Structure 1
Amino acid sequence: MSLILCRQEPVKHPYYFEGLGVRLFSSQELCYAIYNNPLLVMEDFVDSSLIEFIREDLDMAFLAQKLVKLQQSGEDGDEILAVILHECDYYHAAEVNRFKQKLAAYRRMPEAEFLKERADFLFSRKQYGKAVSEYQKILDLPKGSHVNDGFRAKIYNNLGASYARLFMTEKACKAYEKSFDLVKNNEVLKKIYHLSQWNSGLAVHERFQALITEEMKQEAEQERLRAEELAGEADSLLELEKLFQKDPIKRFQGAGELVQKWKQEYRNIMS
């Protein structure tokens, strides 16, 4: 068992980390967010608003001034992130060095691969709107940017999955169709079929309808049934069931908190 001692910082205005959709209330939380989400802090994360938060709310004027001077001198952004981790004393030197190595590895990636890493990470965080934007950047890259047909097929597939989770079924279907045209993958056809069942008004091109076999339809139906079973066991549903078992006053209070939580999750998904 271990104990982490956190500074008690009088934060009146928590810092909103847009990439995660969370508010940060301490230097420890700031360091944790940076260390565990390198793909979200590599581009312009340390700006005037963050420095102001460090100076005024975290009461770390020395660090804030140091960051300003580093930026004015043109210091590398990755080094500036490392300085924050060092000065807050939340991670030891070896951990900070590993963080810097991770950033360096990302920097060495071809642009298309880096953007995919970032987009996939955003998708895993249910930030589907932001993921769409990153996947689209890859598709807009000029030819010869380490993007072959197989890679583009993956991007269109992931783009389709992002659109589907945003309930944009027509855009999702078009993305899946482009993925299939590049690499003939039956799993992508099943996804197109799933969309057609989800949205009966979806216009699936005849040539794709002809390729979807009865066996694929049966497999898709089994997958749908399994998904429904898992949905019935979801934590959010269990949380709702527990709420209705409480007395009316606690139920009303809990309902308000739950609605606010769902609203924030929805904003994060759509942003």
Structure 2
Amino acid sequence: MALLLCNKGARHPFYYEQLDIDLWSIQELSYVIYRYPVIIPSEFVDHKLTAWLRDELNMGILAARLEQFMMAGDDGNQERLLLMILRESNYYTQAEISRFESEYKKLKNIERHVFLNMLGDTYLRMGKYGRAIEAYEESFFLNTDFNVEMKLAGTYVTVMQYQKASDLYEEVFIATGSDEALKKLYFISKLEPSVDTIEKYIENIGVDMLANWELLYNEVQAVAEQSDRVREIHEIYQKNRSAFREHSKIMILKWKREYRAKI
């Protein structure tokens, strides 16, 4: 995590499965709680966590207090436990902790499909695209919301599953007549010409609209071509073709690992 260890770090990290990360300090633990409350499970603070606080961070007093409240088992138990950790970390102000408390209370009272939509948004920001897809799919199954379906389609584009994305954008367009869904179909046809769903709806696209989409696509492509990664590969190719081939093998393996991690 891009977070400084404000206190002494643990000898062994606490692994948080929901984020697939290792936590090394009370500040990192607090950051996760504060930043991602929507993915904090109802039994997040358990004996495994208190043992880590006691054994790895030498925070025996906090661990004992948490365990005492865990034994009480009242309805607001988990919320109280999370607030205790946030206060003990000294990483957030009291005003920030109060805001967290208010938002956390809201999460417990929202409808399931709304929660899942928020969960999908959180995973999307984190780059956990497979989990985002699962959350959006379940949300849409529970409540037909075309905004959620658009998000789902966009996430499929991100992981280069263009046919699935195209099918969803087409559903949205048929149901709502959305120009945005039509535009996405057009962009997919540019990214992957074999997915040519847009051809069925060419008559729905005005000349000016098409010209604007083409301009937008070209602008985005030009920006992408100037990225640091593209420039690095181009420079290697220009200097040494043999080195480029070796570098390409390494980069392809790296990209494959990154892709698998995202889905």
TM-score by length of 2: 0.77
Report which stretch shifted further, 59-68 or 29-38. Answer: 59-68
Give the C-alpha shift of residue 191 in structure 1: 0.5
Task: Tell me, in whole angstroms, the C-alpha distance in 2 between the residues paired with 1:112 and 1:166.
Answer: 23
Choose 160-169 or 211-220, whichever is displaced more.
211-220
For the residues of structure 2 that align with 1:5 and 1:25, how far apart are their CA atoms?
Answer: 7
* Contact kept? 1:86, 1:96, Cα under 8 Å: yes
Letter in 2 for 1:159: L
- Asked if 1:121 is matched to 2:114, the reply is no
CA distance in 2, matches of 1:7, 1:258: 37
The amino acid across from 1:84 in the alignment is I
Q: Partner amino acid for 2:13?
A: P
The residue aligned with 1:79 is 80
Aligned residue number for residue 35 of structure 2: 36
1:86 and 1:260, CA in 2 relative to 1: closer, same or farther beyond 3 A?
farther
- In the TM superposition, 1:58-207 aligns within 5 A as 58-75=57-74, 76=76, 77-141=78-142, 147=143, 152-202=145-195, 204=197, 207=200
C-alpha contact 2:5 2:24 (8 A) present in aligned 1: no
Structure 1 residues 62-113: Cα deviation after superposition (integer angstroms, max 9, x where no partner): 3334333433432432222111112333334333222101212333333322
Residue 16 of structure 1 aligns to a residue whose secondary structure is strand
* Residue equivalent to 2:8: 8
Q: Does 1:50 align with 2:49?
A: yes
| 1:262 Cα deviation from its structure 2 partner | 6.0
Q: Could you say if the C-alpha distance between residues 26 and 243 of structure 1 is closer, same or farther in structure 2, counting changes exceeding 3 Å?
A: farther
Which letter does structure 1 place at the counterpart of 2:94? A
Query: What stretches of structure 2 of length at least 5 have no aligned partner?
Result: 238-247
Q: How many correspondences in the alignment?
A: 247
Provide the C-alpha distance between the structure 2 equivalents of 1:197 and 1:49, rounded to a whole number of angstroms: 50
Give, as a single letter, the amino acid of the residue that structure 1 aligns with 2:31: Y
Higher mean displacement: 226-235 or 158-167: 226-235
* Contact in 1 for aligned 2:186/2:198 (Cα 8 Å): no
Indicate if the aligned counterparts of 1:153 and 1:180 stay in contact, CA closer than 8 A.
no
The answer to which of 199-208 and 96-105 deviates more is 199-208
Cα-Cα RMSD: 3.4
Tell me how far 1:50 sits from its aligned partner: 3.1
Q: Percent identity between the aligned chains?
A: 29
One-letter amino acid of the counterpart of residue 123, structure 2 = L
Higher relative contact order (CA 8 A, sep 6+): 1
- Relative to total residues, which structure has the larger helix share, 1 or 2? 2
How far does the alpha carbon of each residue in 1:212-256 deviate from its partner, in whole angstroms, 9 at most, with x for none? 445444333222211122223435557879999xxxxxxxxxx9x
d(CA) in 2 for partners of 1:182 and 1:115? 22
Structure 1 distance, partners of 2:253, 2:30, is 26
Partner-residue secondary structure (3-state), 1:46: coil
**Partner Cα separation in structure 1 for residue 230 and residue 42 of structure 2:** 37
1:226 is aligned, of 219, 226, 229, to: 219
Matched position secondary structure for 1:23: strand
Instruction: Give, in whole Å, the separation in 2 of the partners of 1:193 and 1:108.
Output: 40
Distance, in Å, in 1 between the alignment partners of 2:34 and 2:98 is 11
AA at the equivalent of 2:160: F
Distance 1:17 1:164 in 2: 28
> Could you tell me which amino acid in structure 1 is paired with residue 165 of structure 2?
A
Distance 1:266 1:53, change over 3 A: farther
Q: Distance in 1 between matches of 2:173 and 2:93?
A: 48
Q: TM-score, normalised by structure 1?
A: 0.75
Mean CA deviation greater in 180-189 or 61-70: 61-70
